[in-house]
Amino acid sequence: MKDVVEKFRNILSSLMFNHVFYGLLLKRLRVVYINDENMPPCGVNKREIILSPKFFRYNNCVQQYILAHEAMHVALSHPERMRRFAERFKILNINVLFNVVADGKINDVLDEEFECAPDGRITISRVAMLLDIDVETLRKLSVEEILLRAIKKGSKMAVKIDEIVSEPTNDISPETGKGQCEKSGKKVVVLNEGDREIEKAKDDKELEKIKKKILAEVLVSSKSIGRAPLGVERIVSGMLKPKVDWRRIIKSAMEKALGNDVRKTWSRSSRKNPDYPAKYTIGVNKVIILADTSGSISQKQLRQYIGEIFSISKIARKIIVVPWDVEAYKEIVVRSRADIRKVRVGLRGGGGTLIHDALKKALDIMSNGDIVVILSDYYIGDLYGGGV
């Protein structure tokens, strides 16, 4: 058994070196080994990853992929979510389909990062074909949202499922269709302890909360060194972040901040009552915008930044945009809406996410009455560090 433990440690070291996000995530999860040739290579239950002798017959590269895949299943609470969904919709093979869709979404992200993958894995294009939903839509929706859409469309969801899962692969978790693997009282060797919080969780609600916390911490850690996979945030963000209209929130906050200073003037009369002076709002002199341009910020998010900056330019006399990732870059001055084109070409970055230098620059250039706006996804490595 010592040999198995040593082999696992070597695989974990390789994963940590090549794909730090998945290495850090796996380190936080419990991994066990059962010496049973009748078991599939790997599987999960809601608290741990389970490996069998078959897992160790793959090459190191494929082993890394498999561990990353199973770690995402556990961290994203797929076993718990699948059980709840199956209880709500008592449809034949719904648990199988949940697992197939979850596999496709996870593998879509892993295929962008890993050089090799297990043969016969579930791909997102196969899921798209099965459910008659385009790939881009699948990427945007959660597993539950995808299945709800399929149910509403009246898709014959059992069709082709047997074809998809006929080959034993590392995608379909043990006890095919259940999406989870139980140890059934067999002798277990612990390969990685993981966080004790997971073991101590009293119920599914507490367990999912702990997993969200772990995901957030791992994502921040990997982003801080510029090693967060670009695709992983697409699949994680729906679990970590509430779906709010951030554009509306920012607009509301700006209106409150910029619209409080109301004065009266006798140079013109009130439109509602000519006997009273007109009211006017004193605009802010300067808005400093700290724009997160780290590697995980997508082109779509950058375009949203520009749209928000354009909206603010209608109110503020002067805008100073400071792009930042692990450092603060040269500021971009916007005095008119025509200057927005300078922002489009001046946003640079692409590294990790540390805000200290950007905040320091904001303090250096701000005056009384200025407003500072931070545009970011807030996965910031030094958010709780000294001086921030």
Strands 286-292 and 318-324: parallel
Give dist(CA 69, CA 74) in Å, integer: 9
Residue 350 binned pLDDT confidence (cut-offs 50, 70, 90): confident
More confident residue, 153 or 65: 65
Model pTM score: 0.62
Residue pLDDT, tens place only, 166-225 = 444 444 343 333 445 555 567 889 999 999 999 999 999 899 989 988 988 888 788 766
> For residues 27, 32, 35 and 37, what is the CA-based torsion angle, rounded to 10 degrees?
-80
At residue 152, the pLDDT reads 75
At residue 229, the pLDDT reads 73
Angle between helices 94-113 and 124-131 (to 10 degrees): 140
If you compute the radius of gyration of the chain from its CA atoms, what whole number of angstroms results?
26
Q: What is the DSSP letter of 154?
A: T
At residue 237, the pLDDT reads 59
Q: How many CB atoms lie within 10 A of CB 90?
A: 7
| Neighbour-count burial of 271, counting CB atoms closer than 10 A to its CB (0-12 exposed, 13-18 middle, 19+ buried) | exposed
Question: Reduced to 3 states, what is the DSSP secondary structure of residue 22?
Answer: helix
At residue 259, the pLDDT reads 53
**Maximum average pLDDT range among 157-161, 239-243, 310-314, 353-357:** 353-357
Instruction: Identify the H or E element spanning 373.
Output: strand 371-375
According to DSSP, the residues that pair with 321 across neighbouring strands are 289, 332
> For residues 374, 379, 384 and 385, what is the CA-based torsion angle, rounded to 10 degrees?
-90
Comparing CA positions, the residue from 386, 369, 190, 380 lying closest to residue 286 is 369
On average, the pLDDT of the chain sits at: 80
Question: Which residue carries 């894995």 as its tokens?
Answer: 121
Mean pLDDT confidence for 40-61: 94
Q: What is the DSSP letter of 261?
A: -
Mean pLDDT confidence for 282-298: 80
